[in-house]
Chains A and B, each alone.
Chain A
Amino acid sequence: MNKLSPLHDKIYCALSGSAADAQTIAEIVNYQLDVHSTEIGEDPQVRSAATLVRNISYKYKEELSAHLIVAGWDRRDGGQVFATLNGLLTRQPFAIGGSGSSYVYGFVDAEYRRGMSKEECQQFVVNTLSLAMNRDGSSGGVAYIVTIDEQGTEEKVILGNDLPTFVDQ
């Protein structure tokens, strides 16, 4: 299942938690963002998309069980990542979520550096996903990566056997 859902040309979100809840939120925000961007006559900001997601997550906090990470590129602030867990909106240099994320907190804390190049960052993301998939029973299969920058959006799928391997006991 592809857990990366487009909210706009240069804004994507990553779904976790209940798949149904997360997909529904993404579809609603996709629609709201279309309306908003028509109203303002230009591409929406990543912050706007994240705010729309957060509004739904917060309002229906008791009924929903999903965490969406919103990331994208806009002309005003460049590349941005927002976490919307439980209705809190925070901008972060990077964000991880989902059941497999607990296992890689240490790894991402140690390995993330500001100012990485595009290729370094893609490698960092692939390594992180691979380590988490190794340990988490609910994660696995293939890795979907979407890279968004000024030039455009690039979607990539990395199959299981192409993922990096680490020391296995």
Chain B
Amino acid sequence: MEKRCADARVKGVSTGTTILAAIFDGGVVIGSDSRASMGGEYVSSKTINKVIQVHDRIFCCMAGSLADAQAVTKAAKFHLSFHSVQMETPPLVVAAASILRELCYKNKEELQAGFITAGWDKKKGPQVYVVSLGGMLISQPVTIGGSGSTYIYGYVDAKYKPNMSRDECLQFATNALALAMGRDNVSGGVAHLVVITETGAEHVVVPGDKLPKFHDE
């Protein structure tokens, strides 16, 4: 018993999690589950929001150690607002992603956090960037992350189509999160989704009982 408690203390609060982002025609959907767990045994929060706003039309999702992710996003928010004041225009999504990447890469020994950054800017429209654990930055049309993501690689590969409509993409994201939460014990709770388009950002929260059910439920 003591050994297991000690393990949880050592591992800290982690966002065993499922996060995803997908581009549709005219915008991007970014979403996550809402469970925070300690050592894989205790759910420390059922309703944590892992989708963080770093600017008006730029959001990012965190995976890995919750403490590291919060510290990095706080620093990134500061750098980004400073940068956007200096440039006198809203920041580009790639700027936000690069700032996160710099922080992750320079501190790769101490940090254990990965991010998905998604947003809309005037130059390139809707974009999704992935910053991995070691600090690699790549752009993709659709991406998934976190421990729950292994279970939905097949589903995302099969079901994602470029240029979906907003509603199709929202349904795709909700389904993918529901499937991952159904199989991964450290993902769960509600589905937090944010739809970002030229006109702004809209939050959609899908509570557990309204999530789509599949054949065995």
Among A108, A110, A134, A135, the most chain B Cβ lie within 10 Å of the Cβ of A110
Tally of chain B residues near chain A (CB < 8 A): 25
Cβ B215 vs Cβ A106 within 8 A:
no
User: Is the CB–CB distance between A107 and B154 below 8 Å?
Assistant: yes
Contact in complex: B142, A135 (CB < 8 Å): no
What class of interface size applies to chain A in its complex with B?
A: 20 to 34
- Which residue of A104, A168, A169 is within 8 Å of B154 (Cβ)? A104
On whether A109 and B215 interact (CB within 8 A), knowing A127-B158, A167-B160, A169-B140, the answer reads yes
Q: Does B180 contact A (CB under 8 A)?
A: yes
Q: Measured between C-beta atoms, what is the minimum distance from A143 to chain B in Å? A: 14
Chain A residue at minimal CB-CB distance from B151: A105
Q: B154, A128: Cβ atoms under 8 Å?
A: yes
Check A166 against B157 for contact (C-beta < 8 Å). Answer: yes
Q: Check if B72 is an interface residue, CB within 8 A of chain A.
A: no
Contact of B183 among A106, A166, A168 (CB under 8 A): A106
Q: Is A114's beta carbon under 8 Å from chain B?
A: yes
The answer, yes or no, to whether B2 is at the interface (CB within 8 Å) is no
When A102-B150, A169-B141, A169-B142 are in contact, do A107 and B214 touch as well, CB less than 8 Å? no
* Chain B contacts to A: CB under 8 angstroms: 140-142, 150-162, 175-176, 179-180, 182-183, 214-216
Interface residues of A (CB under 8 A from B): 93, 102-114, 127-128, 131-132, 134-135, 166-169
